[in-house]
Chain A
Amino acid sequence: NAGVTQTPKFQVLKTGQSMTLQCAQDMNHNSMYWYRQDPGMGLRLIYYSASEGTTDKGEVPNGYNVSRLNKREFSLRLESAAPSQTSVYFCASGFRGQPQHFGDGTRLSIL
């Protein structure tokens, strides 16, 4: 099925470990986004990529890096995980300024 695919779906890390969250879309969208969702706080933008080859910081970028590998793929990396990064992470794709399709999320716990 067409859409946004995120891997992994669940992950448990220890403080200080690193990992990369993968995201791929097959809808030929130019823009891709990474959000985190925390209880009672809605979604907050971490990083976005308006088009292939460009990335920019969102509302909460500290502790994260991203790579727009090609038009389809946009990865999010935690270099040194901290408990405050325990969250559900969503990747989305869409047209300019319009995240339209979201993945099912990655549930990340950091101990």
Chain B
Amino acid sequence: AQSVTQPDIHITVSEGASLELRCNYSYGATPYLFWYVQSPGQGLQLLLKYFSGDTLVQGIKGFEAEFKRSQSSFNLRKPSVHWSDAAEYFCAVGAQESNTGKLIFGQGTTLQVKP
């Protein structure tokens, strides 16, 4: 079955500390992968995406993610977290052969940043 798992429902980090949000997927087709961020009361914003090529992907707001096919993972990282990064983060996977936008979303990870 196709699925996306974000093992951490809630994470708290101190401002300035490094961050890693985990994402594991189970997908039969060749996947493409996304990370989105959602601030309270707002829609989702695309942080970054992976289709092919370099497995380390750079995104907006200083985020990066690494695709590891052998581990079926696409973890999101940031070297130094800012208070404004507090939000909910969603990992999503879709099929490269498809143009449907039928992404499967994880349940989300809520990030809290301590001063």
Contact = CB atoms under 8 A, between A and B. Distances in A.
Interface of A: 4, 31, 33, 40-45, 48, 50, 56, 58-59, 90, 92, 94, 96-105
A98 B34 CA distance: 9
B3 to A, nearest CB: 11
Interface residues of B, number: 25
B107 A40 contact: yes
Interface of B: 4, 32, 34, 41-46, 49, 90, 92, 94-96, 98-103, 105-108
Contact of B107 (A42, A48, A56): A42
Contacts, number: 69
Contacts of A103: 43
A42 B43 contact: no
Nearest to B95: A97
In terms of DSSP, what is the predominant structure of the interface of chain A? Answer: strand
Contact of A97 (B41, B44, B99): B99
B65 to A, nearest CB: 16
A105 B100 CA distance: 21
A30 B103 CA distance: 17
A104 B42 CA distance: 4
Given A41-B107, A42-B90, A42-B107, A99 B43 contact: no
B38 to A, nearest CB: 8
A91 B42 CA distance: 12
